[in-house]
């Protein structure tokens, strides 16, 4: 099963949406195998968003992502990267479909509630950036047989 990174951004923290967002992932059948709250540094954000550092809007990203702490999660499941991306919706929350996290909770392109890895390769890199190996746990919930067919786990 795949693992992917999800960040609940300061906009989710400020708007007290933590429980609602996490519940969506859990209700879908994804496993939270790593979770912590942290304050992001400019150095870490420059590394994480290195592909955007030269863009004129990068200072807005810095301001937004350092306004409050974030919650970083390692989410595990079959095709987790794709499933999480579908659940989060498009980057601009105003254009995100109803039923997605951004579509239901956001109105902004920047203050868009969550970050989610965009590929399996990105997820591997991003998870190493935010988690030590001993902060990600491997467990099998008792109800796994009701979440997946036996040939999917």
Bridge partners of residue 37, in order along the sequence: 71
Task: Check if 48 is active-site.
Answer: no
Helix (H, G, I), strand (E, B), or coil: what is residue 151?
coil
Bridge partners of residue 27, in order along the sequence: none
Q: Hey, what are 112's tokens?
A: 């868009």
Handedness of CA 29, 35, 40, 44 (dihedral sign): negative
- Out of 74, 113, 115, 127, the active site residue is 115
Q: How many CB atoms are closer than 10 A to CB 81? A: 22
Q: What is the Cα–Cα distance from 34 to 19, expressed in whole angstroms?
A: 15
Q: What is the Cα–Cα distance from 63 to 36, expressed in whole angstroms?
A: 21
Closest CA to 127 of 7, 18, 40, 11: 7
Residues carrying an active site annotation: 115
């Amino acid at each position: 099963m795949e693992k992917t990174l999800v960040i609940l951004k300061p906009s989710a923290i400020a708007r007290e949406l933590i429980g609602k967002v996490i519940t969506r992932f859990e209700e879908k059948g994804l496993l939270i195998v790593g979770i912590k709250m942290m304050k992001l540094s400019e150095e870490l954000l420059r590394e994480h968003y290195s592909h955007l550092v030269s863009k004129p809007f990068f200072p807005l990203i810095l301001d937004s992502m350092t306004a409050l702490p974030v919650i970083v999660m390692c989410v595990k499941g079959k095709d987790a990267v794709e499933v999480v991306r579908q659940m989060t919706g498009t980057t601009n929350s105003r254009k995100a479909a109803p039923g997605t996290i951004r579509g239901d909770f956001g109105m902004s392109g920047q203050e868009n509630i969550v970050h989610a890895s965009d590929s399996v390769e990105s997820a591997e890199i991003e998870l190493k950036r935010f988690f030590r190996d001993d902060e990600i746990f491997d467990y099998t919930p008792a109800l796994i047989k009701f979440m997946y067919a036996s040939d999917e786990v």
